[in-house]
Structure 1
Amino acid sequence: MQHSRRNFIHYCTGLAVSGVAPWALANAGQYPDKTIRIIIPYPAGAATDNLGRLAGQALQQALGQSAIADNKGGGGTTIGTRELARSAPDGYTLGMVDSSFTINPGLLGARLAYDTQKDFTPICLIATAQFVLVTHPSVGAKDLAGFLAKAKAEPGALAYGSAGIGSGPHLAGEQLAQQAGLQVTHIPYKGGGTVITDLLGGQVQFGFATVPTLAEHIKAGKLKALAVTGPKRSPLLADVPTFAEAGLAGVDTMPLFGLVAPKGVPAAVVEKISSVLRTSIRQGEMQAKLKSMGFEPIGSTPQEFSQRITEEIAKWTEVIRKGKIQPE
């Protein structure tokens, strides 16, 4: 009896040292026993919203409890993300995040009402997407080298649009300018749809967007694709080289989409959620759905996602600093 008691004490002590309380494992075994809420910091219909709902479906199917989407748009994603940071760390309130999660620390700094790296627990990097650099046909560039030559010969003459200061397409353009030593003009819009309209009309000469957004316009000859981000070519644009193949490997903007929780959620609960998503993304029907939507399925561990967040924050903070970019 004494021996068993002593072993139990050692077991609990070991859990305490590792940061996992004994009750957390018991709760993980019962989890979930009520509805899971996924905060999405965008209005319904956005890409991040679509992926958040897919994640909810995977959790619901595997865990047998409802997982509902709660759209909390506004503030450049900071309103919904702030609510998530202040939620109970019990695993019943999760949050879908994208690249704004890693851009905002460098863009907003002390204005953020939360600490991106201290107030959240990464769960799973669900997917990434490739950006494609396109030009209006009037630019006349046949490839990336030709575009860079024209941009350098006419400093400031070429303009690109984005959905706003600090958006992914904005920082992709800034990263391109910094890597290639260009002077180009950025025009922030109030939304992505107007940017595409003006790009097709030639009011702006070049731009970045995800491959699925522009693929049909490229195939119709309305836009010229010069390069895609990422380590390999897009299956939707197999004849378009990567930036590395085109000689500018430093342009590596790839929007990311993942699930996080408030800081303090028991590690066993985090692993349970992450395991469900990893299985669905790597082996289940979620993989096919993601690919059909133009995303690259990932399905990372919490540790891998945490490392990616750290790397992305460092990268974008430096791009923002060098570009002297100020929020609106």
Structure 2
Amino acid sequence: MRRFSWGRAALSLACLVSWMAGAHAQATWPDRPVRVIVPFPASGATDLVARTVTQRVAADLGQQMVVDNKPGAGGTIGTAEAAKAAADGYTLLLTTSSTHAISPHLMPRLAYDARKDFTPVVHLADAPSVVLVTNSLPVKTVGELIAYGKANPGKLNYATSGNGTIVHLNTAAFMAQAGVEMTHVPYKGTALSIPDLVAGQVHVLFDSLPTGMPHAKAGRLRAIAVTSEKRSALAPELPTLAESGLPGYSSVTWFGVYLPAGAPPALVERVHAAFSKAVQSPEVAASLAKLGVEPAAPSTPTQFGAMVQADSNRWASVIRQHKISID
């Protein structure tokens, strides 16, 4: 006959109490302010997306969402800090492709592991880019740009916001698929390249929609395509690159929310539901549109994680193929 053990009974009771406390905490989340780390500067695109969405989440939940900007090193400083936080739902990371799909392949000594240190929660939104060409270039379509590049080897160049940025990677992926070579001209931001593009000193720029389209609409530059898989509701008149002779080409800057690794499934679901509801509201969608950002199609945390991994694999290939570095 097995003897009763007070020690085992006490341990079992302690485990039960701990489990019940954790379950209660998840069910009542949030019962105090939530810190949302944004690893980029205030007033930048990610910060504006974060504040737009979290304001609605806070209103829906009746609890404060505190956006905490932790910029530096391409977003990796704030991301590393978020990785070390408790997985209790009171520290979230709202970030982009840069920290989870690009930086791991450009910065081998990162202070975090993009896959192991985080729990994917929700894919919030996407920001497509627009392909701009200088008016002095005799092309009006992507097909004509490719044909011109092949007929005039060494004559085309392209602007970016720096080595290893999404602008650089988008253009490198385009060149690889189109079979066109262009010379890279890096700037410290795409806005600084616009005067040279208008003057015809540089020829091509993959820019964000909100910063690039005003120049096209004003006639200073020519917009010929968008980089998203489907036409953008923000510029429906423009074909996609896939429609324009590059089947399968698709690239957006995505925005998403993560919890630190180890977050309980019930908590992940609560955070996912709160942010998904907010970003799908008409008011938030309208505000995001002004930023050149479109709400993502509804998806599960697992689907979000799979999308990020596919994006990471793709950029790893582009970075290797073109020997891109940030040195």
* Residue 183, structure 1, aligned to residue 181, structure 2: yes
Q: Does 1:221 align with 2:219?
A: yes
Q: Is the 8 A contact 1:132 1:226 kept in 2?
A: yes
- 1:92, CA displacement in angstroms? 0.8
C-alpha change, 1:44 and 1:22, in structure 2 (3 Å) is same
Q: Name the SS for the 1:111 alignment partner.
A: coil
Q: What pairs up with 1:9-48 in 2 under 5 angstroms?
A: 22-48=20-46
Choose 40-49 or 263-272, whichever is displaced more: 263-272
> CA contact under 8 A between 1:172 and 1:251: conserved in structure 2?
no
| Aligned pairs (5 A) from 1:44-83 | 44-83=42-81
Measured on the aligned residues, the alpha-carbon RMSD in Å equals 2.1
> What's the counterpart of residue 303 of structure 2?
304
| Structure 1 residue 170: Cα displacement | 0.5
* Structure 2: stretches of 5+ with no match in the other structure: 1-11
* 1:252 aligned to which of 250, 259, 280: 250
> Within 2, Cα distance between the matches of 1:193 and 1:220?
16
Which of 186, 189, 201 in structure 1 is aligned with 2:199?
Answer: 201
How many pairs were matched up? Answer: 312
Identity of aligned residues (%): 40
Distance 1:162 1:137 in 2: 18
Provide the C-alpha distance between the structure 2 equivalents of 1:26 and 1:196, rounded to a whole number of angstroms.
54
CA 1:139–1:190 in 2, change beyond 3 Å: closer, same or farther? same
Matched position secondary structure for 2:206: strand
The whole-number CA distance in structure 2 between the counterparts of 1:231 and 1:75 is 29
Whether 2:166 is the aligned partner of 1:161: answer: no
1:275 is aligned to 2:273 = yes
Distance 1:216 1:54 in 2: 22
CA drift of 1:65 comes to 1.4
Paired residue for 2:146? Answer: 148
Q: Scaled by the length of structure 1, what TM-score is found?
A: 0.89
Distance in 2 separating the partners of 1:200 and 1:119: 44
| 1:9 corresponds to | none
1:68, 1:192 → 2: CA distance? 30
Deviating runs (4+, > 6 A) in structure 1?
A: none
Deviations, residues 248-299 of structure 1 (Å, cap 9, x unaligned): 1243111101111211122212211110111122245322222333211114
Report what 2:317 is aligned to.
Answer: 318
Superposition deviation, residue 21 in structure 1 = 5.0
Structure 2: how far apart are the matches of 1:273 and 1:86? Answer: 19
Query: What whole-Å deviation, never above 9, does each CA across 1:197-230 have from its counterpart, x for those lacking one?
Result: 3322323111101222211211122111121122
Q: Deviations over 1:71-90 (max 9, x none)?
A: 11110111111111111221
